Amino acid sequence: MSKDKIYVSIVVPIYNEEENLPILYEKIKTVMEELKKQWNDKDYEIILVNDGSSDKSWEIIKNLAEKDYHVVGVNFRRNFGQTAAMAAGFDIARGEIIITMDGDLQNDPEDIPRLLEKINEGYDVVSGWRKDRKDAFLNRTLPSKIANWLISKVTKVYLHDYGCSLKAYKSEIAKSLDSYGEMHRFLPALARLVGAKIAEIPVKHHPRIYGKSKYGISRTFKVILDLIWVKFLLDYRNKPLRIFGGFGMLFSVLGILVLLYLSCVKICLGLPIGHRPLLIFGVLFFLTGIQLISTGLIAELIIRTYYESQGKKPYVIKEIIQHQ
């Protein structure tokens, strides 16, 4: 085991990639050994996270880890998903910079030096852009383009390709991100929460040769649901009362106006109002508004409990400079 400080950690989620794994390892190894010659007393590690594969992927990972100290093998008890695999890699990674990529050989390890160069220009996150994508247009590329446009508009973090797994992160940024569900594609947007400086560069993309794709158009619905959650995190994570209270006030005011109108009809005109559907809507609007405001207050209490019980702070400090 090398005693050199780990400079780069490469995190690769693996799910049924037994044919691709040996080739991917050799490609990464070739690139990283060449880069290592440029570093002084720095090393790298390759973290292969087996996400409950049903083929021989774990056996291959174990063999690689036994013969090469650069390889760290992580084996899940079952399939938890790509986001969970990346989160495990982030937790284990010891490098100053963490690079993520797919295990299907569609991402090219030869792009790693370019990602590192961009990081060294002062960026915290560098995302790959599969400008010349080698996937089927109708069920992969077209839905991806629509999703990228929608995510960029909602999050205000404008990237051409959120779905590209080939990304580079400064370690402190990657380890501060909450990764669960299908959130791996939203990590650049989530990094904005901690003030990360984000860049994007074109990267190579190769057609899949071995194995089957784990992605499909059905994931579009999951992306939309996760996007709603990301929007909430970006704008209202520390102030949930503003969104719940805002809608609550709107419904309450509508309800009050409707009930005032009906009261005038009853008192001034002497007309019966008990049979009017408008009465039901007025009461429903008012009660809904009260419930939303109450939900906002409860959410505020939960947020405060979350920060206070875990000693977390609602901010992230990049550096502190003081006179000695």
Tens-digit pLDDT profile for residues 147-188: 778 888 888 888 888 888 899 999 999 988 876 666 777 888
125 touches 188 (CB < 8 A) = yes
- Would you state the pLDDT for residue 318? 52
- Would you state the pLDDT for residue 306? 65
Rounded to two decimals, the pTM is 0.75
Task: Write out the two tokens for 175.
Answer: 């380890």
Q: Is the pLDDT of residue 22 over 90?
A: yes
The Cα 317–Cα 180 span in angstroms is 24
Short-list 62, 2, 57, CA closest to 33? 2
155 touches 147 (CB < 8 A) = no
Short-list 203, 274, 193, 197, CA closest to 239? 193
pLDDT in tens, 138-154: 666 677 777 778 888 88
Q: What residue ranges do the domains of the chain occupy?
A: 5-236, 240-310
DSSP 312: -
Order of strands across the sheet that contains 167-170: 71-75, 42-50, 5-14, 97-100, 167-170, 125-129, 198-202
5-236 CATH choice from 2.102.10.10, 2.40.160.60, 3.40.50.300, 3.90.550.10: 3.90.550.10
Mean pLDDT of 232-261: 83
